[in-house]
Amino acid sequence: MNRTKIAGIGYYVPERVIPNSELVNLMDTSDEWIQERTGIQQRRYGKPHQETTTTMGAKAAEIAIERAGIQKEDVDLIIFATLSPDYFFPGCGVLVQRELKITHKEMPALDIRNQCSGFVYGLSIADAFIKSGQHKNILLIGSEMHSMGLDFTDRGRNVTVIFGDGAGAVILQPTEQNEGILSTHLHADGTHAEELAFINPGCHGGYHLGQERFGYPDAEYGGIFMTEKMWNDQDIFPNMNGQLVFKTAVTKFPEVIHEALKSNQLNTTDINMLVPHQANLRISQFVQRSLGLKDDQVWNNIQKYGNTTAASIPIALCEAWEAGKIKSGDLVCLAAFGSGFTWGSALIRW
């Protein structure tokens, strides 16, 4: 059976750099406070009304397509991972197809909503399609424009300082060589779904799973509108139980990495490069120590870009490759944890 290889990779981040010092002017925070808790020094924000999740994804895709040595028309499936789509619907898959001007071709476009784990989930889906023989040139994009939906007040500080905008993309192809994706491992547990969530606008209308906190009994028809309760509860902005997320992430990251290694009869010493989802530098450092990896075995760039959710792994992977830190034959491990909760890993022989 064929394996799936990354034939081309690219990323795009907006030009506008937002250092911590700029956020200090908007909310009660400091550069020291942000760096101490997250490791972030700056992030990128797209140009409002000019750049979107789709346009950034398209720019990353064009680089990946060129590096794969194919034409846009050769792409036979698009998988788009994001939590910040241009529209409530349709999804960004068809929008990026239009942006790339390959709409004349009858091809599927698939959108997935797995937040921080989106790229790893997308990689697993693409791998299955490649192995089945259905597709030969899959474009997988992770793209986010968080800046359009953050709360730039003291109330939203703990979440807002973390996130940035950007996109990453890969072209996936079959290969008969000793390379490519060795395995992927996906998990989910919705028990604490609301502890890292953006509740509204949503379609739940009345009581959500019997929990009054998330219910709007005055919503007679649907729930896509603004109510006083939505504003007071601040469900119209992302919210996060930081302590629970951190505690769970530092457990699930090592677990799912060890799962991938065990399934391939490999050890942590075999890893040449670990590319974790860039959620928090403190989480990445904790995982690095727990696995006994050296600094040059882990790629972190959250310091420059913040958390770009579904885009963070492909951006970091591309940077590491461009820097010459990932070479042919290297064992690369990808791992992610995020909202849902969802988490996953992938092992790749480069």
The pLDDT score that the predictor gives to residue 235 is: 59
What is the mean pLDDT for each group of 10 consecutive residues in the chain (350 residues)? 93 98 94 96 95 98 98 97 94 97 89 97 98 97 94 89 97 95 97 85 46 46 52 68 90 97 97 97 96 97 98 98 98 96 98
Instruction: List, by residue number, the catalytic residues.
Output: 116, 277, 307
The dihedral sign for the CA sequence 239, 36, 341, 125: positive
Which of 241, 262, 28 is CA-nearest to residue 152?
Answer: 28
Q: Assign 337 to helix, strand or coil.
A: strand
Query: 175 burial class (0-12, 13-18, 19+ CB within 10 angstroms)?
Result: middle
The pLDDT score that the predictor gives to residue 240 is: 85
The pLDDT score that the predictor gives to residue 200 is: 66
The pLDDT score that the predictor gives to residue 217 is: 47
Which domains occur in the chain, in start order? 3-177 (3.40.47.10), 181-191+240-349 (3.40.47.10), 201-236 (no CATH)
The pLDDT score that the predictor gives to residue 55 is: 98
